[in-house]
Amino acid sequence: MKQDNKTRTYMFIGIPGSGKSNVLFKFLRQKILEEKRFGNDKRIEPPCEVLSFNDFNICAGEMCRKICRMMSVPCKTEISKAPEDYSYSPDKTYLVDTSGNLGKQKSVYDFFSKPVFAAKCFLAVPAIIDLQILSGLLEQYSFLKDFQVVLTFCDFANDKKINQISEFFESRKIRIAARNTSGIIDGSLEFL
């Protein structure tokens, strides 16, 4: 069990269509499988709950609810609410899906960056992105102080492209935490 009273939080941030929700659900699936493998008595984090602030398209909240139902995980997707409208418990681990809107992502990030949360932030970056566009993307996300990258859509990029992007992040001392393929639940999320 965790030793402090901070609320565990994992945030998934990125441009629209970058694979944020996909990564969140694969991450959740891996946590559930890990728990089944080791048993609830070996749980290293409290049970999960998904918070979706993804209002970028009308289907995002409904998709989130359905997948959470399939996984038997609580989910809050009231898109009219902001993070401060909810109450949080150190007895839960929160997985936070963000909107494709940069301003809304920043406000969610700012909220969960408070010391009361033990927050980890993952920036979803498509492995097929052009390096010049990637430079501009990082400028847009300059408000992120402590984050790791998840490369998404790796099944659409060749090894040379993935190596170029890896070198790009390495030269900026930004860690790539995982590689993701495009399948929603059945694809892979490989942690590095």
Of 110, 49, 55, 51, nearest in space to 79 by CA: 55
Reported as a single tens digit per residue, the pLDDT across 143-173 is 999 899 999 998 899 999 999 999 999 999 9
Instruction: Measure the CA–CA gap between 48 and 76, rounded to whole angstroms.
Output: 12
**Distance between CA atoms of 178 and 82, rounded to whole angstroms?**
28
Q: How many CB atoms lie within 10 A of CB 6?
A: 14
More confident residue, 62 or 184: 62
CB 13 within 8 A of CB 109: yes
Helical spans, DSSP H, in the chain: 20-38, 60-71, 102-112, 131-140, 159-171
The per-residue DSSP string of 54-89 comes to --SSTTHHHHHHHHHHHHT--EE--TT--GGGS---
- How do residues 81-125 score in pLDDT, each as one tens digit? 789 888 888 888 899 999 888 999 999 999 999 988 889 999 999
Residue from 90, 85, 140, 143 nearest 115 by CA: 90
Amino acid (1-letter code) at residue 79? I
| All structural domains of the chain | 7-191 (3.40.50.300)
| Whole-structure pTM value | 0.88
Higher pLDDT pick, 21 / 190: 21
Q: Give me 189's structure tokens.
A: 């999320």
Q: For residues 114 and 98, what is the distance between their CA atoms, to the nearest angstrom?
A: 17
